[in-house]
Amino acid sequence: MNKTVGTHHRIAVVSMIMIALGELLIFTGNVTLGVAVHILNLQMIIVSMFIKGGETDQIVLDKQILQALLLLLQLRIINIVMPFFFTMTLYWYPLIYSPLFISIYLVLRYQNASFDDIGMDMRNLHRYIPLALIIGAVLAWVEYQIIHPEPLIPKLGIADMLTLVIIMFVFVGLVEELIFRSILQTKLQQSVGVCNGLLMTSVLFGVMHSGYGSVYELLFATAAGLIIGYLYQKTGSLPFVTAIHGMVNVLLFGLLPYIP
In the structure, how many helices (H) and strands (E) does the chain have? 11, 0
- pLDDT of amino acid 95: 82
121: left (phi over 0), alpha (psi -120 to 50) or beta: beta
Q: How far is CA 208 from the centre of its chain?
A: 8
- pLDDT of amino acid 17: 96
* C-alpha span between 16 and 232 (Å, rounded): 22
CA neighbours closer than 13 Å in the CB half-sphere of residue 70: 19
State the pLDDT confidence band at 59, using cuts at 50, 70 and 90. Answer: confident
- pLDDT of amino acid 80: 83
Mean local confidence (pLDDT), 214-240: 97
H/E stretch holding 5: helix 3-27
Contact assessment for residue 239 and residue 122, using Cβ atoms and an 8 Å cutoff: yes
Residue 51 has pLDDT above 90, yes or no: no
- pLDDT of amino acid 82: 65
Among 61, 69, 44, residue whose Cα is nearest residue 4: 61
Q: Model confidence over 131-169: pLDDT tens digits?
A: 999 999 999 999 999 999 999 999 999 999 999 999 999
Mean local confidence (pLDDT), 168-175: 96
Burial class (CB in 10 A: 0-12, 13-18, 19+), 37: buried
Residue 3 has pLDDT above 60, yes or no: no
State the pLDDT confidence band at 54, using cuts at 50, 70 and 90. Answer: low
Q: What is the pTM of this model?
A: 0.92
The separation between the first and the last C-alpha atoms of the chain, rounded to the nearest angstrom, is: 59
